[in-house]
Amino acid sequence: MNLSRRNSMGIAMAGALVGAVPRIADACAMCGLPPGDTAGHAYNASVLFMLAGPYFTVLAIGAVVFAMWKRAHRRPRADAATAATRR
């Protein structure tokens, strides 16, 4: 049997299997839920949580860096004053 013909037959058989078994053909986990199920809200909340996580992490790191920068500029620098008098 030719290799391309064997590959095309395998693809056709896989397509027939997916078409014959609707449970396998579901596009997402929410498509197979019964009406009135609350799992849809849980899926949506988890997606929003995963999307917001990196933004909050970057925001927290930025806030810490900004606070450290402000604190460093607020303190009088004794080393700078002594370095200026040494010159």
Q: Which residue has the tokens 């917001």?
A: 52
Enter the pTM of the model.
Answer: 0.46
The answer on 19 and 46 residing in a single domain is: no
Is the same domain home to 26 and 56? Answer: no
Answer whether 77's CB lies under 8 Å from 85's CB. no
Domain count, the chain: 2
Cα separation, 16 vs 25, in Å, equals: 11
49 and 72 assigned to the same domain = yes
In the chain, % of residues over pLDDT 90: 30
- DSSP character at residue 87: -
Are 44 and 83 part of one and the same domain?
yes
One digit per residue, the tens of pLDDT, for the chain of length 87 reads: 577 777 888 888 887 776 666 665 556 666 677 778 888 888 888 999 999 999 999 999 999 999 999 998 886 666 666 666 665
47 shares a domain with 28:
no
What is the model's pLDDT at position 74? 83
**Buried (b) or exposed (e) across 62-76, using 16+ Cβ within 10 A?**
eeeeeeeeeeeeeee
